[in-house]
Chain A
Amino acid sequence: DIQMTQSPSAMSASVGDRVTITCRASQGISNYLVWFQQKPGKVPKRLIYAAFILQSGVPSRFSGSGSGTEFTLTISSLQPEDFATYYCLQHNNYPWTFGQGTKVEIK
């Protein structure tokens, strides 16, 4: 199985900060990577697919990059509504696997 490891697992940040979350795959997955945002008690929401394509309706402060084994999700200027947990998902190989999540908290 492909292991997906996110870093950091948790972080504190302030409104307006630039935030970068990394997701590393244990083997190459091309660009078959999706980023989700999940708020407590809510359904995951897709932010980015194909590693860098912004989901329609998602603010442009979110961006994704990477290919192969290393990927990043960047929030250019953190907003109050962005405090949440972020997950990556690889769909290059079965079983599809998620990262352990990165919780972004208010500093």
Chain B
Amino acid sequence: QVQLVQSGAEVKKPGASVKVSCKASGYTFSTYAMHWVRQAPGQRLEWMGWINAGNGNTQYSQKFQGRVTITRDTSANTAHMELSSLRSEDAAVYYCARASNSQWLARDIFDYWGQGTLVTVSS
């Protein structure tokens, strides 16, 4: 069965970076995309960006451009999301979610999610 298992909670100081991992199993990692979504306390879900796990191409939300980097390691079936220059507003639960590489293939859009990683930003 498909599983996405994320790395554990992080506590970071303002200005630092955080890297969250998402290990996939139960499907062919390189034939899908991995997206990252975050949710601040009491807020809506917010899309951050995605990576084509096959060719490594990425696309980011303009809001996070320059601060977010999504990578993947196909040998480990793992995607990573690194967010730099952290500020208090970045405190949130970060999720990875699977999708097809084509945004038009609705069947596979966010059908599986990681369990979430809580990132706390505090001095």
Chain A contacts to B: CB under 8 angstroms? 1, 31-32, 34, 36, 38, 43-44, 46, 49-50, 53, 55, 87, 89, 91-92, 94-101
Q: Total number of A-B contacts with CB less than 8 angstroms?
A: 62
Q: Is the CB of B59 within 8 A of A53?
A: no
Q: Is the CB of A91 within 8 A of B59?
A: no
With both beta carbons as reference points, the residue of chain B lying nearest to A50 in the complex is identified as B106
Instruction: Among B46, B110, B115, point to the contact of A34 (Cβ < 8 A).
Output: B110
Chain B contacts to A: CB under 8 angstroms? 35, 44-47, 59, 61-63, 95, 99, 103-104, 106-107, 109-111, 113-116
Chain B residue numbers with a CB within 8 Å of A92 are 103
Given A43-B116, A95-B61, A95-B62, do A49 and B107 touch, yes or no (CB 8 Å)? yes
Question: By DSSP majority rule, is chain A's interface helix, strand, loop, or mixed?
Answer: loop
With both beta carbons as reference points, the residue of chain B lying nearest to A55 in the complex is identified as B111
Q: Which 5 pairs show the lowest CB-CB distances between chains A and B?
A: A50-B106, A95-B61, A96-B47, A98-B45, A43-B113
Q: Is the CB of A91 within 8 A of B103?
A: yes
